[in-house]
Structure 1
Amino acid sequence: MVEITRSIPVAELLSGVTLDSREGNPEALCRVTDVCVDSRNCSEGSLFVPLPGDTADGHFFIEHALKKGSALCFVNRQFFHKHKEKFFEFQKKYSALFLVVPDSLTALQDLARERMRRMANLCVIGITGSNGKTTTKEILGSILKSYDSTAINPGNLNSDIGLPMAALAVEDSHRFAIFELGINRPSEMDILVDIIRPHAAAITNIGNAHIGPLGSRRAIAEEKRKIFRFLAPEHAGYIFEKDDFVDFLQEAGEGIKTYGPASTPDYEGFQDLGLEGSIINWRGHAIAFPLIGSYNVINALCAISLALEIGVSDDAIIDGLQKVRPLFGRGMVLEGGITVIQDCYNANSDSMFQAIEFVDSLSLTGRKILILGSMKELGADTYIEHRHVGFRAADSTADIVFFFGEESAAAYDAAQENRGGAQEPEFYLLLDFCELKKVVSDTVRNGDLVLLKGSRSVELERLMDTLKKSV
């Protein structure tokens, strides 16, 4: 559910939406207070947007939304005509108004697009990239919140459904709005960037996340650079100075700059504090930055560059860097008898390498244990990318490495083939979660450091209870 702090007249809300017809009670709802795509969240004043999905069609939950209090619903044209008699019943029973549209998802996106167009004084920042975009968004969000009223799309509401929902939540009082844009198919960026039209933007990097649907890293770069399409003349787009596609991305147009250790203004280096984060030296200040890993320092440099671009004060930048905290499953350090780095919200080979490299950099008295889950959406590169991870794990300073999931068999085989280093970790391959849970429980002990890293669908956070009980 997206709450709208100022209830909006229906006519204003729908001004950018293409309607086939209005069916039912025209006075059912005069003002909208929230927009829902889940009928369970509906209440009086809700506009319900039913969306067809892979496992369920939201249209079959329209009556549930009406029972919860919603009196206004979008309906796909095809669905309405197929079930017209049912909607006549709903009209009489609930005195509801149904807005028949060619496509309910497009209608949701049109709602958000029109909402953003009406906010003439809002400065919009867009962030995309294969890795680090969510964390960079959170760092910049922390900085801007220290400066002025700022909207940030929650979590990773960055898709063709999540982004419009986040845009609808922006308030008239906000001066800044930061949006993360995620893609997993060709032409999706066209839709997303047209909804928010960012004045300033950044691409954190071009990696192999979602390479399956897009086909190649160059295709990913071509899609992601569309984020620069609507840059304001007075602002710039940013790309990482050492990205493999930096020259190609700069071809997107004028006003594309780089960020990084060599190009972010007045950056003076950093000191790695391990599990405590880093000290970032900038403009004569030693800033205590709590996010772990040198890769997050790079994300911070992106946020600093964007903040300077839109005129944020030094004090707000320093304050925001100090206050930022990791989101769930993104480099969270959970200390106790067993220290856990919970970095299992998502994974591809680039982020796997970064996580393993960070663990390698730590000087510890206890054992280092890597629990590496399968990486999804790699398409034809699935086998080779898992092998790369296996080779890297074999070279790590870990004592034990658990590979989990069918795709991870390739990583396990590669690790076994690469045996012979100074550390020579123990390797295990497990395909069943219950078996993984038992073996981990039997293996870990007080003083261990455990890295959980895998794709979202693997849900390695399910091991947390086991790890807590194993102390």
Structure 2
Amino acid sequence: MMLSDLCKRVHGKLLGADVSIQAISTDTRTIKKGDVFLALRGESFDGHEFVKSAQDKGAAAVVVDNELALPLPQLVVKDTLTALGQAGALNRESSNSTVIAITGSSGKTSVKGMLQSILSGAGETLATEGNFNNHIGVPITLLRINEQHRYSVIEAGTGGKGEIAYLVDLIQPQVALVNNVSLAHGLGFGSEQAIAEEKSEIYKNADIGVVNLMDKHTNIFMERLVDKKIFAYSKVDESASHKDSAKKLNISQSALILASNLFCNTKGGYRFVLSYGEQSVPVELSVPGLHSVDNALAAAACAVATGLNLECVAKGLSGFSGVRGRMQTVASAAVAQLIDDTYNANPASMRAAIDFLASQATPVLVVGDMGELGEAEIQEHRKLGEYAKNKGIQQMFAVGPLSLHAVNAFGEGGKWFETQDAMKAFLARAKIEAASVLVKGSRYTHMENIIKYLQQLKGAEKC
């Protein structure tokens, strides 16, 4: 892609020589010689202040929103964020990679990791790194697609109406998935139905839609999938409810990817039989929790939609060891078992974590606040405390103003802290050496600090 190609796309003004765009950087701390520097503006930063630094570090050209006195070629555009998006779209359009787009309220990062593990067995696979799933991260990911990538797995997130529609126009996926919908962004939407409608936009440009039959919003998804090829997935229960759901939605039984004969081992990991049509294979997951079966089904269905067989799927799923901060058992001398689930949190993912923890010996839940819940934030934290108590969690320790409501609802065995330092001081004295401790909270709460503390804390130091 040439700088002039982007100029035409965004109706900009090219000053100086045309250059080939090998890579675009928005951060002078990581820019490499030959990159094109794109200056973004935000509420608290202005990339234009770092253009001279980009020049000094060997930038080949710059993309800016006003003409600057520089010897470098520069593309002047109305809005640099729009230019970044269109640069990503241009690179994606020039690629032959099979692109899969994933969104959902919880678990999408794990689904992405599982799918990457599966697809990597069949060819070079690119996947979104970390939480690069917004209007900046998605274009940056799309710009990383090259001719070696047989598959590209792109995660899309949203914090407000219209974001998924914008992102999917850039991604242009062949296969798309909404893995589930729950009240994860109440602040931006107000209701689960509104969230489902927003998430369903992921299907609009896709050739193939993958649908979770276990989600109560499938009717909304199906409205976006008229005249498209559909694959669906479900766990199989005794009532065979998946058959009724598929029939009601007019989805062929031959398009179903199913998990049956589920068995949970002592570490909380599941094995099951994965079926599609006449094929069936055993699968054993190394990541714990029943929700991991749902994530595995979602990844499997996406892989099948790209044409892979179940043997490839099973191998990839069995080889998936998890995502950092997502239900990862980490070493600690202070407790019997320490589970790091601090990547993020919403009501659905909290319940999934509690379900797993309840199956472990001496379960202790350590939580921070859940964010972006809007008017439901107090009610959802109360529900969290009640759910943990009803599931048999023995003790609940919480930090943050909203989590006070969770502790109050939990009752006996619950303890609240105003700060993490206060929580750490308590944990140093707490009698939890024999406990299974799970730590979780929304990203902004930085509950990974508690994980690090418990890893550093030695049993002998406790008094």
- Answer yes or no: same fold by TM over 0.5: yes
Contact 1:444 1:467 in 2 (8 A): no
Contact 1:35 1:49 in 2 (8 A): yes
State how 1:173-322 maps to structure 2 within 5 Å: 173-232=148-207, 236-254=208-226, 255=228, 256-262=230-236, 264-265=256-257, 267-275=259-267, 277-282=269-274, 283-322=279-318
* Aligned position for 1:371: 366
Contact 1:74 1:99 in 2 (8 A): yes
Q: CA deviation at 1:197?
A: 1.0
Q: For 1:452 and 1:35, how far apart are their aligned partners in 2?
A: 37
* Aligned position for 1:326: 322
Q: CA deviation at 1:265?
A: 3.2
Q: For 2:446 and 2:192, how far apart are their aligned partners in 1?
A: 26
CA RMSD of aligned residues (A): 1.8
What secondary structure does 1:291 align onto?
strand
Q: CA deviation at 1:35?
A: 1.3
* Aligned position for 1:18: 11
Contact 2:386 2:409 in 1 (8 A): yes
Amino acid at match of 1:369: V
1:351 aligns with 2:323: no
Amino acid at match of 1:455: S
Distance 1:310 1:284, change over 3 A: closer
* Aligned position for 1:419: none
**TM-score (ref. length: structure 2):** 0.89
The runs of 5 or more residues in structure 1 that have no matched partner are 1-7, 417-423
Q: For 2:322 and 2:136, how far apart are their aligned partners in 1?
A: 24
Q: For 1:444 and 1:52, how far apart are their aligned partners in 2?
A: 50
Contact 1:14 1:111 in 2 (8 A): no
* Aligned position for 1:111: 87
Q: For 1:292 and 1:281, how far apart are their aligned partners in 2?
A: 17
* Aligned position for 1:387: 382
Q: For 2:430 and 2:231, how far apart are their aligned partners in 1?
A: 49
Deviations 1:316-361 (A, max 9, x none): 1121011112111111111443221111111111111111111112
Q: For 1:146 and 1:100, how far apart are their aligned partners in 2?
A: 43
Distance 1:265 1:30, change over 3 A: closer
Distance 1:266 1:250, change over 3 A: closer
* Aligned position for 2:253: none
1:457 aligns with 2:432: no
The number of aligned residues is 432
Contact 2:233 2:298 in 1 (8 A): yes
Contact 2:6 2:86 in 1 (8 A): no
* Aligned position for 1:172: 147
Q: CA deviation at 1:14?
A: 4.7
Deviations 1:287-309 (A, max 9, x none): 22111111010111111112112
Question: Which of 446, 450, 455 is the equivalent residue of 2:433?
Answer: 446
User: Could you tell me the percent identity over the aligned residues?
Assistant: 29
* Aligned position for 1:74: 63
Q: CA deviation at 1:445?
A: 4.0
Deviations 1:13-45 (A, max 9, x none): 5553331x234xx23x73333211111112321
What secondary structure does 1:218 align onto?
helix
* Aligned position for 1:99: 75
State how 1:56-75 maps to structure 2 within 5 Å: 56-75=45-64
State how 1:19-168 maps to structure 2 within 5 Å: 19=12, 21-23=13-15, 26-27=16-17, 30-76=19-65, 80=66, 87-88=68-69, 91=70, 95-119=71-95, 121-168=96-143
What secondary structure does 1:242 align onto?
coil
**TM-score (ref. length: structure 1):** 0.87
